[in-house]
Amino acid sequence: MKDTLLPVAHVLAMVMAVFGAIMLAPVLLAFWEMDAAMWSFVVSGFATFVLGALLWLATRGYKRELKTRDGLMLVALTWVALPAVAAMPLLIYLPLNFTQSYFEAASGLTTTGATVLSGLEYLPHSINMWRHLLSWLGGMGIIVLAVAILPMLGVGGMQIYRAEMPGPMKDTKLTPRIGQTAKLLWAVYAGLTGVCIICLRWAGMNWFDAVCHGFSALALGGFSTYDASIGHFNSLSIELVLTVFQVLAALNFATHYLAWSQRGVRAYFRDAEAKAVLAVLAVSCVGVAVFLFVKGTYADFPTALRHATFNVVSIATDSGLHTQDYSLWPIFAPMWMMFLSCIVASSGSTGGGIKMIRTLVLAKQAHRELTQLVHPNMVRPLKVGGAVIANRVVFAVLAFVFLYFMSIVTLIFVQLASGLDFMTALSAVIACINNAGPGLGAVGPASNYGVLTGFQTWVCSVAMLLGRLEVFTLLVLFTPTLWRK
């Protein structure tokens, strides 16, 4: 165990030191505006940097190439530990206990967007900036960021990258060197973020709100600077900008890079997953709009289409920004949105849930099984987008989906046993494990997770981490086989 923990701790120490340095961003903003939260970031950043530096010095003799087991442990430890240090400024400045502060920081880093805070518009800008910066950093993964900006790691970047990146991206190398690949993905991510910020400023936001919501949109993070979220602005142009960029963020960033490098959109038409995502979103937006109009929720179809489009896209892509209290809509609409949050986001995107590629594999496998009932001797390979999917991949998808739904069921029963009503327990667990943000019931868009008890809040924090690390990365650490030599 010592031979595993100390080399992992050495890399984690470097990540923590870098993370402490990142806290300079809100420090500079707080100094510029002379807000009262400045010293909370100074103390937190200094403490985090020193802690990381001391841990690095203590473990510098244990640097070595990381194995698969080490990569899995590093990813899990990083995502469990970083919210604790990221929570320090919130714990120092705001009237929150550690449980709530950890939840808020974990929600940011996992791009969930669930919050325990009220009166967001009255918070110091540095606090709001920190929340949104956490989401943006978490969008492509702190580990991938570390691989990109710390080439001196020399500790098996591919093992870290494979443990961190979801779905088929684990086997996708755009360039021969993993650090170069990570940099390219971050360049695409940062570039789209910059364009989104400029578009939001043009649409009517001030620069601060544009930056914060640009971070939220590309990270699919769901945090806002207002309790009413995007409903505060009541602007069709802002909603259109955010809708477009939330859809882009829900697509595979490798596909974005290929489209950019090829100077065209053919990459999207060759991506079966992207086509499925766009088709499901288009049908769902129109379908929910028709449903709301027929039910009389909105007086005219254009209004129904406007609100249905933004909120369906936001929840389906696991963003969590909203313009309406959709929990008041007829129950079919919000429940359909919660279902979409499980499947719509692409692999290699900043979204959560099962991912569309796994949904396509399951659908193809179900069709193959039905066909073989009629023609039992037929041998038919499973294909998605013209590519043959190996049976071992199909079995892995089946195992993942089983563990995913069993995790949801288990956490729901835990929340029910703690005293939550069914709708709140169901929606809170689904929203957190999909990193989608608001739920229904007591944690709906008109409320927040501050109504939960400490125990219920920790359950939601566990759900967020399970979802962000796609279940396997955490659960595999508890299997005896992993620790056998």
pLDDT (mean) for 96-117:
95
Give the orientation angle of helix 125-140 with respect to helix 38-59, to 10 degrees: 40
pLDDT at 7: 80
Q: How far apart are CA 309 and CA 296, in angstroms?
A: 17
pLDDT above 90 coverage of the chain, percent: 60
* pLDDT tens digits for range 271-283: 889 999 999 999 9
pLDDT at residue 253 in the model: 86
In whole angstroms, what separates CA 456 from the centre of its chain?
Answer: 20
Q: Are 147 and 184 in contact (CB under 8 A)?
A: no
Q: Coil, strand, or helix at residue 173?
A: coil
Evaluate whether 220 touches 317 at the Cβ level (below 8 Å).
Answer: yes
Higher-scoring residue by pLDDT: 151, 66: 66
Q: Report the C-alpha gap between 437 and 448 in whole angstroms.
A: 9
Query: For position 443, what pLDDT does the model report?
Result: 95
When comparing pLDDT for 372 and 449, which is higher?
Answer: 449
**Beta-carbon neighbour count of residue 460 at 10 Å?**
26
167 versus 272: the higher-pLDDT residue is 272
Span 96-125, mean pLDDT?
95
Percentage of the chain beyond pLDDT 70 is 91
Q: How much is the pLDDT for 317?
A: 95
- For residues 257 and 285, the model is more confident at 285
Report the amino acid identity of residue 485: K
pLDDT at 152: 37
| Closest CA relative to residue 465, chosen from 224, 94, 108, 152 | 108
- Place 167 in a pLDDT band, splitting at 50, 70 and 90: very low
Q: What's the CA gap between 485 and 451, in Å, rounded?
A: 46
pLDDT of residue 127: 95
- Of 421 and 254, which is predicted with more confidence? 421
Q: How far apart are CA 403 and CA 307, in angstroms?
A: 34
Tell me what the mean pLDDT of segment 80-95 comes to: 94
Residues 135 and 221: beta-carbon distance below 8 Å: yes
For residues 339-359, give the mean pLDDT. 90
Q: Per-residue b/e over 301-331, b at no fewer than 16 CB within 10 Å?
A: eeebbbbbbbbbbbbbbbbbbbbbbbbebee
> Is the pLDDT reported for residue 270 higher than 80?
yes
- The mean pLDDT of 377-405, rounded to a whole number, is 84
- Kind and range of the H or E run holding 384: strand 382-384
**pLDDT interval class at 148 (50, 70, 90):** very low
Q: How confident is the model at residue 166 (pLDDT cuts 50, 70, 90)?
A: very low
Max CA-CA distance within the chain?
Answer: 75
Q: What is the pLDDT of residues 359-384, one digit of tens each?
A: 998 999 998 888 888 888 777 888 88
- Rounded Cα–Cα distance for residues 113 and 135 (Å): 8
Average pLDDT value for residue range 81-94: 94
pLDDT band at 3 (very low <50, low <70, confident <90, very high): low
Does the pLDDT of residue 132 top 90, yes or no?
yes
- pLDDT of 264 reads 81
Is residue 485 scored above 70 in pLDDT? no
244 token code pair? 């477009």
CA distance 394 to 110: 27
Separation CA 105–CA 132 (nearest Å)? 10
Please tell me the distance from the alpha carbon of residue 155 to that of residue 481, in angstroms, as a whole number: 23
CA distances from 308 to 54, 251, 272, 302, 441 (A): 51, 20, 25, 10, 19
Confidence of residue 2 (pLDDT cuts 50, 70, 90): low
Q: What would the mean pLDDT of 157-164 be, rounded to a whole number?
A: 46
The tokens for 24 are: 């300079």
pLDDT at 169 over 50: no
* Residue 387, helix vs strand vs coil: strand
CB-based contacts of 65: which residues, under 8 Å, 6+ apart? 154, 155, 156
- CB of 424 closer than 8 Å to CB of 442: yes
In the block, residue with structure tokens 């010592």: 2
Amino acid 69: pLDDT: 77
Separation of alpha carbons 3 and 64, rounded Å: 10
Range 322-328 average pLDDT: 95
Q: Which two tokens stand for residue 62?
A: 């244990």
User: What is the rounded average pLDDT of the residues 433-455?
Assistant: 94
pLDDT of residue 422 exceeding 80: yes
pLDDT digits (tens, 9 = 90+) for 38-87: 999 999 999 999 999 998 888 887 777 777 777 778 888 888 999 999 99
Q: What is the mean pLDDT of the chain?
A: 87
Mean pLDDT value across residues 449-455? 95
**Which pLDDT score, from 0 to 100, does residue 244 have?**
97
DSSP 94: S
Q: Are 139 and 165 in contact (CB under 8 A)?
A: no
Name which residue leads in pLDDT, 70 or 178.
Answer: 70
pLDDT at 25 over 80: yes
Strand partners, 231: none
Helix (H), strand (E) at residue 382: strand 382-384
Average pLDDT for 169-175? 49
3-state secondary structure (DSSP) of residue 447: coil
Q: pLDDT-derived band of residue 186, with 50, 70 and 90 as boundaries?
A: confident
Strand pairing report for 387-389 and 382-384: antiparallel
- Between 454 and 73, residue with greater pLDDT: 454
pLDDT at 426 over 50: yes
**pLDDT for res 153:** 39
Rounded to an integer, what distance in angstroms lies between the CA atom of residue 239 and that of residue 464?
26
Question: CB burial class (10 A; 0-12, 13-18, 19+) of residue 124?
Answer: buried
The rounded distance, in Å, linking the Cα atoms of 162 and 169 is: 8
